[in-house]
Amino acid sequence: MIAMLEPTSTLLKYEEAGQNFERLALLEELKTKSFGSVWDYYCLQENVPVGEEYVSEIQQYEKEFLLKR
């Protein structure tokens, strides 16, 4: 998901033009982007638990299926 949000063409353009400062600055900016919000939205769209809600889903799965092995 992070790769889908990365401005690859811009990074490549900077790299090919020798604009290393611009490339590094953009990479630093990417670190603070709200990937988590995008991921949470995607999970909501797919009816998948968001945030820490998945923990209880996994615990329930373990009780129902894994312990019966």
How confident is the model over 41-54, as pLDDT tens digits? 999 999 998 878 88
How many Å apart are CA 19 and CA 62, to the nearest integer? 51
Report whether pLDDT(40) > 80.
yes
pLDDT of residue 67: 74
Whether 29 and 47 map to the same domain: the answer is: no
Whether 41 and 62 map to the same domain: the answer is: yes
How many domains does the chain contain in total? Answer: 2
Band of pLDDT at residue 16, cut at 50, 70 and 90:
very high
Q: Of 53, 58, 56, which Cα lies nearest the Cα of 67?
A: 58
Q: Which domain holds residue 10?
A: 1-33
Band of pLDDT at residue 36, cut at 50, 70 and 90:
confident
